[in-house]
């Protein structure tokens, strides 16, 4: 590996580490040589991907911690744990977030009846949670004079969900991909630009990595519909996300800040 992509001696913090994409980011950082703090909310159930990663990882470089990104005191406690054990982190991946996978036909609502509490919850976790993590951990980087913050966005920060991807799901009312997910992620992209200008003079870079759809347990109809809309004609594999994250985390992107890197197979180029 070129030294410009090496993270040897770096300390990284990843939120939402035990969920769907958290293990991808943690694994990428570990592979590049970083010490990684994998944070998730108290009581969170680890995904199979995270369990497998933990089983094969060096316990001296992977630490498990708790942090509820909606709770400032919880974030500060996580900060204190990281500082006591590993020192000031140089990389922060703000991955914690709430998405809305297609459901089985229960707990649906038409747009005019959509509970505002659902909207608020997504904004609270996806946007305000990211803000609070940057307040607490980003400030440490500012004080030291260097760091890379990577906020995880989404292609839906740029385009609206195509509801036709979901019209084969049975049930009444029909499944509706809610507006609050994309709105919260668009806020993350905007906030990334804000902090990149605020902290650039202190040597702290702030960027967004926005994945498109990632291959998982989706049904065959969804995979076909979605893939036909992507210029590369497929969903992303987990490995497709690793290089972009490493680029933004490492000195390979030392002059990149305030940027949204879309890893979507060309979806948003149409």
- Which CATH number belongs to the domain containing residue 24 in this structure? 3.40.50.720
pTM: 0.96
CA distance 265 to 270: 11
In a domain, 9, yes or no: yes
pLDDT band at 27 (very low <50, low <70, confident <90, very high): very high
In a domain, 249, yes or no: yes
In a domain, 150, yes or no: yes
pLDDT tens, residue by residue, 213-232: 999 989 999 999 999 999 99
CA distance 70 to 16: 12
In a domain, 203, yes or no: yes
**Mean pLDDT to the nearest integer, 35-55:** 94
Give me the domain span that covers residue 60.
Answer: 3-100+127-158+182-214+240-262
Domain count, the chain: 1
pLDDT tens, residue by residue, 136-173: 999 999 999 999 999 999 999 999 999 999 999 988 89
Catalytic residue IDs: 181
In a domain, 114, yes or no: no
For the chain, give the mean pLDDT.
95
pLDDT tens, residue by residue, 101-124: 877 566 789 999 999 999 999 999
Beta strand 204-211 pairing with 62-66: unpaired
CA distance 82 to 70: 18
In a domain, 62, yes or no: yes
pLDDT tens, residue by residue, 187-206: 999 999 999 999 999 999 99
**Mean pLDDT to the nearest integer, 249-262:** 98
């Amino acid at each position: 590996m070129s030294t410009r992509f090496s993270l040897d001696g770096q300390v990284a913090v990843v939120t939402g580490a035990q969920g769907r994409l958290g293990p991808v980011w943690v694994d990428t950082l570990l592979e590049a040589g970083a010490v990684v703090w994998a944070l998730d909310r108290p009581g969170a159930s680890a995904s199979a991907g995270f369990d497998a990663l933990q089983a094969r990882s060096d316990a001296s470089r992977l630490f498990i911690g708790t942090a509820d990104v909606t709770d400032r005191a919880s974030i500060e406690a996580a900060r204190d744990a990281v500082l006591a054990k590993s020192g000031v982190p140089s990389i922060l991946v703000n991955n914690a977030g709430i998405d809305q996978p297609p459901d089985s036909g229960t707990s649906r609502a038409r747009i005019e009846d959509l509970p505002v509490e659902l909207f608020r919850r997504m904004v609270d976790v996806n946007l305000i949670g990211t803000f609070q993590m940057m307040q607490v951990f980003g400030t440490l980087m500012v004080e030291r004079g260097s760091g890379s913050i990577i906020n995880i966005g989404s292609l839906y920060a740029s385009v609206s969900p195509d509801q036709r991807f979901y019209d084969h799901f049975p049930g009444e009312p029909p499944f509706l991909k809610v507006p609050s997910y994309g709105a919260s992620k668009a806020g993350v992209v905007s906030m990334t630009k804000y902090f990149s200008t605020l902290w650039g003079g202190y040597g702290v870079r702030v960027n967004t990595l926005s994945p498109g759809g990632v291959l998982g347990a989706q049904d065959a109809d969804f995979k076909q519909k979605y893939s036909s809309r992507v210029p590369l004609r497929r969903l992303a594999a987990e490995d497709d996300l690793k290089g972009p994250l490493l680029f933004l985390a490492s000195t390979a992107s030392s002059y990149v800040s305030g940027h949204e890197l879309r890893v979507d197979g060309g979806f948003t180029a149409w």
